[in-house]
């Protein structure tokens, strides 16, 4: 599962993954478990280009696979 926040120059994804075990793509993700945020998950990923999208794809698939698991 994921939430998406569309901004002018970037897209922010909140993935329903545990940031302690699923670190996310280096340099574009962070643990927001203890920070107030509006998204569904605790792993925040900031996308600014196609390279970032390719980096987050495996984590999006993982979050999707874990829905209902």
Domain map (residue ranges) of the chain: 2-65
pLDDT in tens, 8-61: 999 999 999 999 999 999 999 999 999 877 778 899 999 999 999 999 999 999
Take residue 14 and report the two structure tokens written for it. Answer: 């909140």
- How much is the pLDDT for 69? 61
Phi, psi of 50 (to 5 degrees): -65, -30
Tell me the pTM. 0.89
Burial class of residue 66, CB neighbours in 10 A (0-12, 13-18, 19+) = middle
């Amino acid at each position: 599962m994921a939430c998406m926040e569309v901004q002018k120059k970037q897209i922010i994804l909140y993935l329903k993954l545990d940031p302690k075990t699923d670190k996310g793509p280096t340099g574009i993700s962070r643990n927001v478990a203890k920070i107030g945020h509006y998204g569904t998950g605790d792993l925040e990923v900031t996308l600014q280009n196609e390279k970032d999208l390719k980096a987050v794809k495996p984590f999006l698939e993982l979050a999707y696979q874990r829905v209902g698991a």
